[in-house]
Amino acid sequence: MRRTWRTVVVAAVALVAMPAAAAPAMPVASVEPGVQRLLPRPVEAVATGRAPFALGEGSHIVARGAARQVGDYLGDLLRPATGYRLPVTARSPRRGDIVLDLGPGKAPEGHAAEGYRLVTDERSATISADTPAGLFLGVQTFRQLLPAWAESRTRVSAVWQAQAARISDYPRFAYRGVMLDVARSYLTVAEIKRYIDTAVLFKVNTLHLHLTDDQAWRIAVTTPGDNPSGLDYDALTRVGSLGGADVYGNGNPLGTGPAIRGYYTQRDYAEVVAHAKARFVTVVPEIDGPGHTNAALASIPRLNPDGVAKPMNTTADVGYSTLDANSPVTYEFLRTVFSQLAALTPGPYLHIGGDEALVTGHDNYLTYLRQLLPEVARLGKLPMGWNEYAAVDLPPGAVIQFWRGSTLADVLKQVSRGAKVVMSPAGTTYIDQKYDPSSPIGLSWACRNACDFDRYYDWQPVRDGLTESDVIGVTAPLWSETVRGLAQAQWLSYPRLVSIAEVGWTPQAGRNLPDFTARLSSLGSRLTIAGVNFRPSPAVPWTTDITAPTQHTRTLRGEVARFTAPSATTPLATLTYGDGTTADVPVTPTTPAGPLAAPGLWKVTTPDHRYPHLGTYKATLTITTPTGVATTHFTIHAHH
Ligand code: TNX
């Protein structure tokens, strides 16, 4: 339950000194102000004032045909916390069912690809869309209308209600991305999957994987039968994957420890792609070149003009390496790599990098792109590249990832010829940057002092002479020179990735910072309960959610409740037992907070408390944190 000032239930509890009559079996209901806390903000959402939707023991998920896979996904999400069976069936909807209604003309007009409608009331929660992707996005909205406890992987006592609302929603941009730099520091397949699972909650639909760089090569390439130059592709992982970004050029450590090593077999990669696809996320693989290629040059000697392998280099240095634009071996190599990647990648794009080729030479840079781009086309894919690559003529539909303005004239020229732009301006999308100088990890070249969610929110992605239709979306790159593993990746991502997700989803006119900040306040609970790390920004008035199950005991003892308190170091719990006794009771975090870790759930325990008489008591638990006071009520059936 939420803090009292946001709930409708404060009333109920005349603090009973005597056993309460006819106490409810469940904690007292609170209907959360659902539509006001959705992230990203929908195009149109109204609270209708009807009775809320209530998910119950007997609820079904009604989903037919191609809607079934989304129904299965939703069932898997909600079963652990609710403990309900939630069968996915084709029955005609009954009261309390979730209905996934798929069909032409169901989404808001003109938004068939990803648009959806969501109506919740006492009869049902109905999501309608033209496509399974639209249903999936509607499911993410519905998920946020439920109590944050719905994210729990274990059963929780809560009232599974969603505010009655009518929502009509669709994205501003089709491409809403996040980029993981697994080259500088590795993430396991399981970590990438977990990362995806969280990002989709905010309607992120693209995962850009930066697979190779100077420091390491992370994707297995098999040696093809047709191998004219006899290249040893196995060396890319045997040698190239052993690197990582460990230290700055001056030898100082980059992160909390050395970079994490590893690589993906093609099966691993396919597994990530399949996991993403099941969540309507497109994977965009990047093989950077002609610069950022030291790991390849260190793995395969023949890629070097002198035939001698470069040494691996595990500093963060870049800008010193280049493939040889004038060697046929280079293109033989690239053809092998990109054709294998294309075969494993259902999405339309192959990202060719193209950034910071500082020692390639301009003519050689042009030569490289003019030879590589036709290969991409031959594989049936559209090229994507960092904005430098707009130096050559691009095919219509090619995508320019705009990270800095230095090549703006080229970008505008290519856009006028039919190229599209994904905005990743470093100063407002690079989530690898420190939040502020006190951040233990992160770089600070692109954003120096105040780099919290507000800066990443408050910008206009259509600018610099570009029009709305030139821009297909946004991406938040998480460069990983300083990132070690999933928890740190999450810490840098949340809440800033949510800012970028809303920039990508919500119309500019529908966005403003105070409103976004207010909506963020309930995000901390949801992430805490989901077990997702984040940085509890001091600028957000984080809310507390409490769960306290009904008790059947004459002597109350041990754990009585759990709660979230994202930024509190010493929350205070006061328990009014319902028999005239009140006491401050101990709280302990399930996982402690640290400079790189938000606290986990807190537990409330009570010293043994024996009720004076048999009967039913109504207890009240109040949690006080620096950002507010939250109250819940629970029932104790005091029997023998
Ligand atoms: C610049 S952005 C890079 C990356 C680094 C990043 C660190 C871009 C296209 N190149 O190689 O990892 O800065 O913030």
Contact 241, 263 (CB under 8 A): yes
Return the half-sphere exposure (C-beta side, CA atoms, 13 A cut-off) of residue 105.
0
Residues 6+ apart with CB under 8 A from 28: 1, 9, 12, 13, 632, 633
- The pLDDT of residue 20 is above 90: no
Is 534's C-beta closer than 6 angstroms to any atom of ligand 1? no
Nearest CA to 301 out of 314, 289, 290, 310 is that of 310
* 581-620: pLDDT as tens digits: 999 999 999 999 999 999 999 999 999 999 999 999 999 9
Give the pLDDT confidence score for residue 11 in this predicted structure. Answer: 25
Q: What is the DSSP letter of 418?
A: T
* 401-419: pLDDT as tens digits: 999 988 999 999 999 999 9
Residue nearest ligand 1's atom 4 by CA: 479
Give the pLDDT confidence score for residue 582 in this predicted structure. Answer: 98
Is 389's C-beta closer than 6 angstroms to any atom of ligand 1? no
How would DSSP label each residue in 252-274? -BSSSSSPPP--B-HHHHHHHHH
Q: What is the DSSP letter of 212?
A: B
Residue nearest ligand 1's atom 13 by CA: 479
Least confidently predicted of 25-29, 191-195, 230-234: 25-29
Q: Mapping DSSP to helix (H, G, I), strand (E, B) and coil, where does residue 605 land?
A: strand
* 500-538: pLDDT as tens digits: 999 999 999 999 999 999 999 999 999 999 999 999 999
* 139-192: pLDDT as tens digits: 999 999 999 999 999 999 999 999 999 999 999 999 999 999 999 999 999 999
Residue nearest ligand 1's atom 7 by CA: 479
530, exposed or middle or buried, with CB in 10 Å at 0-12, 13-18, 19+?
middle
Ligand 1 center to 407 CA (angstroms):
16
Of ligand 1's listed atoms, the one at least distance from the Cα of 353 is: 9
Q: Mapping DSSP to helix (H, G, I), strand (E, B) and coil, where does residue 65 land?
A: helix
Of ligand 1's listed atoms, the one at least distance from the Cα of 213 is: 11
Ligand 1 center to 376 CA (angstroms):
23
Angstrom distance (rounded) from CA 127 to CA 119: 7
Is 386's C-beta closer than 6 angstroms to any atom of ligand 1? yes
Mean pLDDT of 428-441: 98
Tell me if residue 559 is catalytic. Answer: no
Interior angle at CA 296, CA 293 and CA 299, nearest 5? 150
- The pLDDT of residue 14 is above 90: no
The H or E element containing residue 140 is: helix 132-145
Ligand 1 center to 479 CA (angstroms):
7
Angstrom distance (rounded) from CA 548 to CA 623: 12
How would DSSP label each residue in 476-487? EEE--TT--SHH
Give the pLDDT confidence score for residue 8 in this predicted structure. Answer: 27
Residue nearest ligand 1's atom 5 by CA: 479
Nearest CA to 122 out of 199, 59, 50 is that of 50
State the amino acid at position 469 in one-letter form: S
Residue 273 backbone phi and psi in degrees, to 5: -60, -40
- The pLDDT of residue 34 is above 60: yes
Give the pLDDT confidence score for residue 83 in this predicted structure. Answer: 98
| Confidence label for 32 from pLDDT (cuts 50, 70 and 90) | low
595, exposed or middle or buried, with CB in 10 Å at 0-12, 13-18, 19+?
exposed
Work out the mean pLDDT of the chain and round it to a whole number. 94
* 528-538: pLDDT as tens digits: 999 999 999 99
Give the pLDDT confidence score for residue 627 in this predicted structure. Answer: 86
Residues 6+ apart with CB under 8 A from 407: 387, 388, 390, 391
**pTM, rounded to two decimals:** 0.94
Give the pLDDT confidence score for residue 23 in this predicted structure. Answer: 32
Ligand 1 center to 432 CA (angstroms):
9
Distance of CA 321 to the CA centre of its chain: 33
- The pLDDT of residue 337 is above 70: yes
Give the pLDDT confidence score for residue 640 in this predicted structure. Answer: 75
Instruction: From the candidates 32, 332, 356, 502, give the one annotated as an active-site residue.
Output: 356
Domains and CATH numbers, the chain: 5-29+533-640 (2.60.40.10), 42-169 (3.30.379.10), 175-505 (3.20.20.80)
Give the other-Cβ count within 10 Å of 586's Cβ. 10
Mean pLDDT of 120-147: 98
Q: Mapping DSSP to helix (H, G, I), strand (E, B) and coil, where does residue 38 land?
A: coil
Angstrom distance (rounded) from CA 347 to CA 274: 11
The larger pLDDT score, comparing residue 423 to residue 16, is at 423
| Confidence label for 33 from pLDDT (cuts 50, 70 and 90) | low
- The pLDDT of residue 16 is above 80: no
Q: What is the DSSP letter of 524?
A: H
Packing angle of the helix pair 486-493, 189-199 (nearest 10 deg): 20
Of ligand 1's listed atoms, the one at least distance from the Cα of 430 is: 14
Residue nearest ligand 1's atom 12 by CA: 479
Give the pLDDT confidence score for residue 15 in this predicted structure. Answer: 25
State the amino acid at position 370 in one-letter form: R
| Confidence label for 9 from pLDDT (cuts 50, 70 and 90) | very low
- The pLDDT of residue 2 is above 70: no
* 105-118: pLDDT as tens digits: 999 999 999 999 99
